[in-house]
Each structure stands twice: as C-alpha cells, then as structure tokens.
Amino acid sequence: MISNLIMKRWGTTNWLVTNSSPHRIELGTASQIARIQAVEVQAGELFRGIGMEEIADAEPPSAASIQTHIDAGTLWVAIVDEVVVGYLTASSLDGEGHIDQVSVTPQMSGRGIGTELISEACRWASANGFSSISLTTFAEVPWNGLLYGRRGFVEVEQADLSAELARIRAQETAEGLDIAPRIVMRRML
C-alpha cells in the first residue's frame, strides 16, 4: 500500500522504509562478496520446497563473477541492519539491459526488496539509453515468472529472441536449468 511506503533518493542509494523493516539499496562492494554468495545459497533453498533440488544445490556465483559486476557498477545490494539480504546483477545485452540474477533471503522475501532491486536495474538501464530490460526465469515459479509478470515484464517468444538471448537460453539448457519451463521476459522502459 502506497501509504505504508516512504522513499527518498540520495545519489546511488535508495532508502525504502516499510512497516516491516527499513532497507536500503546501494551499489555492491568487494567486501560484500561472501555475503552475496550466502544470499544466493539461502535464496536457493526456496526451490527445495517446490521439488527443484537441482537449483537449491547449485553453486553460488564465483567471487570473480561477482567482482566483475562490482567493477562494472552493475551489482546492487539490499541492506537491512547493515547486513546484505538481497542482490541483483545486470548487464547490457544486444542493445538492452539484462537482469542476470536477483536473489533475496527467504527471511526478507515479501517485503518489496526484490521489486526495489528490479526498479534500480530499470533505472540503470534507462540511464544507459536502453529502452527495455530482459531476464530469463522459470515460467511457473511464483517468485519468478509470475512475479515478474506483475512487475511489467512480458514473455518473449522464442522466434523473437535476439542472438544473445538465444545463446543464454541455449547455455541454460546445456547447464540443466530446464528442469521446469524457462522463458525470456522483457519490460519496456
């Protein structure tokens, strides 16, 4: 509810205050890498509860991969009580922004943190001249495709995929991520 939300913006840090917990969104730093990896492991546990153990057991992103996003200024973290509880990585892909990964700890889910991280990625994409932002996701997982649909993302048909999005989907298939239907989604900015 909008009356329960106060937002202030200072530079690259967004402060979001809700009834349940204050958090802030800011660019990630190298000192947060281990915590970002821990967030990914914790968020992955949600998949165990829906029979997707392969996803729950997946390794978190490497420190080098995280550092690459930090260096590029495309990794944002959500912080509550000075602890990283969520993160998002993005990149540019075929002339549009692309959300590579967004994860929030289960204890903090449902508080708007993922939505605010997505909003930050959309602001970044727009500021960099992109007219859209894409992602790949599980179509039927409630906190994946269904949630993104409620956030303005629409499914991109296979025939309409750019070369890079098609490559990413092929790579996901090769890595065994297609244990449930996966789709590409896009949001116009």
What's the average model confidence in pLDDT over 24-44?
97
Domain total for the chain?
1
CA distance 90 to 48: 25
Report the percentage of the chain scoring pLDDT > 90: 77
Taking Cα atoms as reference points, which of 72, 82, 103 lies closest to residue 32?
Answer: 82
Per-residue confidence (pLDDT) for residue 16, from 0 to 100:
40
What's the average model confidence in pLDDT over 15-34?
78
Condensed to tens digits (0 to 9), the pLDDT of residues 134-177 reads 999 999 898 898 899 999 999 999 899 999 999 999 999 888 88
Say if strands 132-138 and 96-104 run parallel, antiparallel, or are unpaired. Answer: parallel
What element of type H or E holds 154? strand 154-156
Q: 7 falls in which pLDDT band (50, 70, 90)? A: very low
What's the average model confidence in pLDDT over 74-94?
97
Give φ, ψ of 74 to 5 degrees. Answer: -125, 35
Per-residue confidence (pLDDT) for residue 181, from 0 to 100:
87
Domain extent at residue 131: 2-188
15-19, 66-70, 93-97, range with the lowest pLDDT:
15-19
Half-sphere exposure of 68 (CA within 13 A, CB side): 9
Mean pLDDT score across all residues of the chain: 88
Residue 17 near residue 111, CB atoms below 8 Å: no
What's the average model confidence in pLDDT over 123-139?
96
CA distance 133 to 122: 7
Residue-level length of the chain: 189
What's the whole-model pTM score? 0.85
Residue 148 near residue 88, CB atoms below 8 Å: no
Q: What is the CATH number of the domain that holds 15?
A: 3.40.630.30
CA distance 115 to 39: 16
Per-residue confidence (pLDDT) for residue 19, from 0 to 100:
42
Q: 120 falls in which pLDDT band (50, 70, 90)? A: very high
CA distance 152 to 130: 16
Taking Cα atoms as reference points, which of 110, 102, 187 lies closest to residue 137?
Answer: 102
Per-residue confidence (pLDDT) for residue 4, from 0 to 100:
27
Say if strands 13-17 and 154-156 run parallel, antiparallel, or are unpaired. Answer: unpaired
Per-residue confidence (pLDDT) for residue 175, from 0 to 100:
86
Sign of the CA dihedral running 172, 174, 175, 179:
positive
Q: How far, CA to CA in Å, does 122 sit from each of 45, 100, 103? A: 27, 13, 16
